[in-house]
Structure 1
Amino acid sequence: MLVHPDFSHRATVTADEHLWVPSPQSGVARVMLDRLGAEQARATSLVRYASASHFPAHGHPGGEEILVLSGTFSDSSGHYGPGWYLRNPPGSAHQPSSADGALIFVKLWQMPADDTRTVRIDTRAARAWRHDGPRQVCPLHQTEHEQVSLLRLPPGHALQPDAQCGAEILVLEGQLVDDATELGPLGWLRLPPGDTSEHRAGASGVTLYLKTGHLAGLVT
């Protein structure tokens, strides 16, 4: 299956365009944002767990990255509410579930084999954030391959991501705008390497997930 497979072009999915597709597991549905492959695939998705739903125990040979958006996501390592950022490195395994339901942002098969850190960060904690001029930054993960953070920008402030090696954005609160697009909550944007688009926070500011540096090897 191919969903937005050409990493040399911009890809955008607004919340109005979300298409929820049942997964093979009852009670779990997903919006496929990008995907290269079948059920075991390089994929970026929104995943929605109904109450009392679960996946069987399984491994993640290519790693898994999760941002909990609402509800409570659980596995053997703990229970994680809104704002928790999780990284399960290549070769890890778990049995995810949700007693009360959850919505999560998930990236699969996108970690190099040497990215071995397990990460658990509560981004709702004030200590996780720092000021960088008029913006606030919550660093999540940084290697030579990628940089991941949450950002809070005041109204009208320019995002200016380092998109030399590509960038990926999920809006969490507020709006992100440019000359062609306005993205509200749960809007997703992938910029190809070298993109010079100018994006800025909307009238109420914006909080967003930002990943950079991870797409260079996917564009020939």
Structure 2
Amino acid sequence: MLNMNFDEQVFINTQEQPWVASPKAGVWRKPLAREDAERGHATSLVKFDPGASFTEHDHPLGEEILVLSGTFSDHTGDYHAGSYFRNPEGFRHAPFSKDGCILLVKLHQFQSGDNEHVVIDTANKSWSPGMGNLMVMPLHSFEGESTALVKWPKDERFQPHKHFGGEEIFVISGEFIDEHGRYPEGSWIRSPHLSEHFPYVEQETIILVKVGHL
């Protein structure tokens, strides 16, 4: 087991992590949280070498993916950087990458009844005004859990707040900061239920945020 105590604060700078070979040739991982070696709850960065592929499979309790770089493909199409999708239990595919890609992948974490297949091209989707000067791009919401991209303009500060149901952040670009530390591009932060912080940035920063699921 790795980082499966959801009452603990976790921070990983993935830029400092080595890639670890998966059982599939040409596919590499940086594990962030994992219930078991090859099944159950898992959050990871996944890298496909050019030409790497998987045989057809589905994902018990779903699969959530954000394409960070390159192009990820399956029988439904090609998904470039910024593509976000949710494949519910029962969705079968044989993914591959012709030229290589890096993904943020969450497995086995869908709530019961959350069966929607979601595909969003965030590179071509509009931002909406959020609190203060933040810009928000909602991606998914179900039974108190929600996922969104959040764009912070330079020097933006947010009010101190608590996370009901916890918060999980992946820093896509820029640097996210709070009183506990500085989190550069590639950082993964998981904060438990009712944790509290006072976040801000010094440069434009984009983060993926999931709340209410812990």
TM range (shorter): over 0.9
Match in the other structure for 1:190 = 190
Mapping 1:49-128, distance limit 5 Å: 49-125=48-124, 127-128=125-126
TM-score w.r.t. length of structure 2: 0.94
Mapping 1:1-220, distance limit 5 Å: 2-125=1-124, 127-132=125-130, 133-159=132-158, 163-201=163-201, 203-215=202-214
Distance 1:101 1:107 in 2: 19
Match in the other structure for 1:218 = none
**CA-to-partner distance for each residue in 1:137-159, whole Å, 9 max, x for gaps?**
11100111410000001123235
4+ residue runs over 4 A deviation: 159-162
TM-score w.r.t. length of structure 1: 0.92
**CA-to-partner distance for each residue in 1:51-99, whole Å, 9 max, x for gaps?**
0001111111110000000000001111000000010012221111000
Cα distance, 1:40 vs. partner? 1.2
Name stretches of at least 5 consecutive residues in structure 1 with no aligned partner: 216-220
Distance 2:44 2:89 in 1: 18
Distance 1:145 1:90 in 2: 20
- For 1:168, give the aligned amino acid: E
Distance 1:19 1:42 in 2: 21
On the 8 A contact 2:15/2:186 being kept in 1, the answer is no
Cα distance, 1:19 vs. partner? 2.8
Distance 1:48 1:66 in 2: 12
Cα distance, 1:181 vs. partner? 1.6
Cα distance, 1:162 vs. partner? 5.6
- Identity across matched positions, percent: 38
What CA RMSD, in Å, does the superposition of the two structures yield over aligned residues?
1.4
On the 8 A contact 1:10/1:189 being kept in 2, the answer is yes
**CA-to-partner distance for each residue in 1:163-185, whole Å, 9 max, x for gaps?**
11000000001000122321111
Paired residue total = 212
Distance 2:89 2:181 in 1: 35
**What's the secondary structure of 1:196's corresponding residue?**
strand
**CA-to-partner distance for each residue in 1:104-124, whole Å, 9 max, x for gaps?**
000000002310110110111
